[in-house]
Amino acid sequence: MELRLKHLVIIGTGLIGGSLALALRKADAVKRVTGVGRSAANLETARKRGIIDASSQDIADAVSDADMVVLAVPMGAYAGVLEAMADTLPEGVVVTDAGSTKCSAIAAVKASRVDEHRFVPAHPIAGTEASGAEAAFAELFQDRLCILTPDDETDRGALARVEAMWQQAGAQLMQMSAVEHDEVLAAVSHLPHLAAFALVNTVRHAGEAGRHDPFCFAAGGFRDFTRIASSSPEMWRDIALNNRHALLDQIRAFQAELSRLEAAIAGSDSEQLLAEFKAAKAARDAWLAEYGGDA
């Protein structure tokens, strides 16, 4: 479906919302973009960079003549944003999102006065550790997966428009249930972020206790493992709390893996250690070979 949006309203004009606007502009798939956000300085950056045509800090006013509204705010902001737009959303407008946890996004819409049938939940599997409009770039979604989690109640016309929008932004589409999405993303995205935050804090505490600053000796391995610990703390707090059950399962699974390694090291079980490391290396090498390191 060839799509040309008349008025796209992006609520949360940061890395994801800004990159989507830039990609759609580049594809000539949108006529006018309004960016909504909390920070006047960030919106001014977005305007200067040509991401948006106009900005607003008034959600109700901004959405009143939209034909597509995209929520690209942290998960914890959904309830307030949905409430603010409920009275002025035009009939037939499509509402979608880019949030990292889908069950909570759907629950927030169901608890709001926004029509759940016209809400199409989406999650582009692309990002960086940087935040804000300054970090946005048009190629972010190029050839990357975007997972849609509609259900039987989702309006098919709204779904087709959201699919066309992400395709024009360069993404490859995939559908699954919100529950499946949250389980799989807990494993491959949410747990790694938690592990990176925890690892940096472990080293930080070691530094407080020891004579040397351990960060002074940290090199490539530490940099690779911890890159994502530079991500937005607010966003990751919200993701952790909004995918609590699936993430707790993954934390327990990770603790069990660490305990197995701990027991092997404590028992000088070289065979067990080697087997664990070989299995992990084989799985990672296969991932790189099959997917090039990307989903």
Binding site for ligand NAD (CB under 6 A): 11-17, 36-39, 42, 72-75, 77, 80-81, 98-100, 123-124, 127, 131-132, 232, 235, 239
Nearest distance from residue 12's CB to ligand NAD, in Å? 3
Nearer to ligand NAD, 42 or 154 (CB): 42
d(CA 158, CA 153): 11
Strand order, beta sheet including 145-148: 122-124, 145-148, 172-175
* DSSP character at residue 89: P
- Nearest-approach distance from CB 238 to ligand NAD, in angstroms: 7
Q: What separation, in Å, do the N-terminal and C-terminal C-alpha atoms of the chain show? A: 24
In whole angstroms, what is the distance from residue 27 CA to residue 64 CA?
25
Nearer to ligand NAD, 37 or 121 (CB): 37
55: β partners: 35
Q: Output the smallest distance, CB 226 to ligand NAD, in A.
A: 15
Nearer to ligand NAD, 76 or 214 (CB): 76
Q: Which is nearer to ligand NAD, 118 or 181 (CB)?
A: 181
Specify the residue, 22 or 98, whose C-beta has the smaller distance to ligand NAD.
98
The distance of closest approach from Cβ of residue 68 to ligand NAD in the complex, given in angstroms and rounded to an integer, is 16
In the complex, the smallest distance separating the C-beta of residue 10 from ligand NAD, rounded to whole angstroms, is 9
**Cα distance between residue 186 and residue 236, in whole Å:** 12
Minimum distance between the CB of residue 47 and ligand NAD, rounded to whole angstroms? Answer: 13
Angle at 196 between CA 191 and CA 200, to 5 degrees: 150
Q: Which is nearer to ligand NAD, 143 or 213 (CB)?
A: 143
For the sheet with 5-11, list strands across it: 54-56, 30-36, 5-11, 68-71, 94-97, 119-120
